[in-house]
Amino acid sequence: MSEITDETKSPWGILTGIRPAKIATKLLDEGMSDDEVISYFINECGTTYEKASLALEAARALRPIRDDMYRDGVSIYIGIPFCPSRCLYCSFVTNGTKQAAALMPEYIEALKKEIKYTADIISHNGTPVETVYIGGGTPTTLTPRLLEEMIDCLYDNCDLSKMKEFTVEAGRPDTITEEKLKVLKKYNVDRISINPQSMNDSTLKIIGRAHSADDIREAMKMARHCGFDNINMDVIAGLPGEDMEMFKYTLSEVEKLEPEDTTVHTMSIKRSSRLNEYLDEYDLAKGELVAEMVSYARKYLAERGKFPYYMYRQKNQLGNLENVGYSKPGFESLYNLYIMEEIQTIISLGCGGVTKTVDLETNRIERIFNVKEAKDYIERLDEMLHRKDVLRRI
Ligand code: SF4
């Protein structure tokens, strides 16, 4: 048995990787029973029972979905690096819409070239596209026209006839309009994300989001009215200034809106975030309190018929905890599972994208990086396209 020292004491014991459920999946694949998997996590890795059962539950959720996955399929990710404002804890390279308004048309032009170039490779390889995920940033910061141009280009160049899931992040309610939702519906987007992070207006202000909890309620109403019946909502445990009551309030207000999928993130202090720069100015919860919050969320969501199906850990998360996606049965996001479990090739387009090719026979994973900044991406587009040539070998 591995030695557990004080430094490694955390709910996840000595596990430092970002994908604990992947270990549980491997153990189940090797023929271990549920009890044996739990024992392995507790005795060999030093995790708590709670975390062992979480990893096991997520691994169990994966299995039927993996059985239905196209083994020769790929998923496509498209990154839109624009947001209406920068969240306190954000480390992504995003461009505020005011400064970036001029950049958006150029960015979409470049993206369309990458879509065409990559679609050609995919069609040459004959690989079916199983899921498409447009994330960011906040894709709905684009104007309806640019949104339509981009998705239209995807349909024009890519065979999406076998696509099983099409997600678009509409994370900020202040970017959502009925016109944009109608564009998404027109192109068969069947899953969207509307992310409150907190339903406490005072916290939303602290974290730099220029919207209120009521804006979230309105956006959800609009999305339901437009026919979206698979909606994810993200919340964060451990936001600055939040105590247990505030977190419970967020969860109960979110669940009143009945999203099919709720993702519970644990606050993480990212190196290039404003939060990290001004850390002393913020009142962050202690690890034990955040641990209570995430335990509470798991029980609360289970009572509402939602179960953990994917999870990952990040560096510097309060209490060394994790992020967990909970969904009602049948609403698990295929894309999230494929990317987190690394069981399908994900082709990423746009700046900041990391394409990951997965060879299921050898378990070999290769990565192809796009540059992070939108301007660089536009200027160095030819280079980005040629980097995609590696995919011709697949
Ligand atoms: S919405 Fe997401 S990508 Fe945009 S600033 Fe906030 S954390 Fe960053």
The answer, yes or no, to whether any atom of ligand 1 lies below 6 A from the CB of 328, is no
Strand order in the sheet with 345-349: 307-312, 323-327, 261-266, 231-237, 191-193, 165-169, 129-136, 74-80, 345-349, 354-359, 364-369
Nearest residue CA, atom 3 of ligand 1? 137
Share of the chain above pLDDT 90, in %: 90
The answer, yes or no, to whether any atom of ligand 1 lies below 6 A from the CB of 87, is yes
Position 16 scores a pLDDT of 87
Backbone angles phi, psi at 317, to 5 degrees: -85, 140
Q: What is the pLDDT of residues 372-381, one digit of tens each?
A: 999 999 999 9
- Which whole number is the average pLDDT over 49-57? 97
Six-digit token pair at 32? 């271990």
Position 5 scores a pLDDT of 41
The answer, yes or no, to whether any atom of ligand 1 lies below 6 A from the CB of 90, is yes
7 pLDDT band, cuts 50/70/90, is very low
Q: Which atom of ligand 1 is nearest to the CA of 136?
A: 3
Position 203 scores a pLDDT of 97
Position 100 scores a pLDDT of 79
In single-letter form, the type of residue at position 378 comes to: I
The answer, yes or no, to whether any atom of ligand 1 lies below 6 A from the CB of 204, is no
Nearest residue CA, atom 8 of ligand 1? 90
393 pLDDT band, cuts 50/70/90, is confident
Q: What is the pLDDT of residues 203-249, one digit of tens each?
A: 999 999 989 999 999 999 999 999 999 999 999 999 999 999 999 99
The answer, yes or no, to whether any atom of ligand 1 lies below 6 A from the CB of 127, is no
Q: What is the DSSP string of 138-206?
A: -GGGS-HHHHHHHHHHHHHHS--TT--EEEEE---GGG--HHHHHHHHHTT--EEE---B-S-HHHHHH
- pLDDT over 90 (residue 13): yes
Nearest residue CA, atom 6 of ligand 1? 87
Q: What is the pLDDT of residues 123-171, one digit of tens each?
A: 999 999 999 999 989 999 999 999 999 999 999 999 999 999 999 999 9
d(C-alpha 300, C-alpha 305), whole Å: 9
Q: Which atom of ligand 1 is nearest to the CA of 85?
A: 5
CA of 285 to the centre of ligand 1 (A): 21
8 pLDDT band, cuts 50/70/90, is very low
Rg, the chain, Cα only? 21
Position 292 scores a pLDDT of 97
Position 92 scores a pLDDT of 80
d(C-alpha 26, C-alpha 36), whole Å: 12
d(C-alpha 7, C-alpha 13), whole Å: 10
- Which whole number is the average pLDDT over 165-184? 97
CA of 81 to the centre of ligand 1 (A): 9
User: Which residues are bridge partners to 278 per DSSP?
Assistant: none
The answer, yes or no, to whether any atom of ligand 1 lies below 6 A from the CB of 79, is no
Q: What is the pLDDT of residues 60-73, one digit of tens each?
A: 999 999 999 999 99
- pLDDT over 80 (residue 94): no
The answer, yes or no, to whether any atom of ligand 1 lies below 6 A from the CB of 170, is no
Position 2 scores a pLDDT of 40
The answer, yes or no, to whether any atom of ligand 1 lies below 6 A from the CB of 353, is no
Contact assessment for residue 170 and residue 194, using Cβ atoms and an 8 Å cutoff: yes
- pLDDT over 50 (residue 184): yes
Q: How far is CA 140 from each of CA 4, 148, 169, 170, 284, rounded to the nearest angstrom?
A: 46, 11, 7, 5, 30
- Which whole number is the average pLDDT over 190-195? 98
Q: What is the mean pLDDT of the chain?
A: 94
Q: Which of 335, 344, 347 is nearest to 122 (CA)?
A: 347
What's 69's DSSP letter? Answer: S
The answer, yes or no, to whether any atom of ligand 1 lies below 6 A from the CB of 194, is no
CA of 179 to the centre of ligand 1 (A): 22
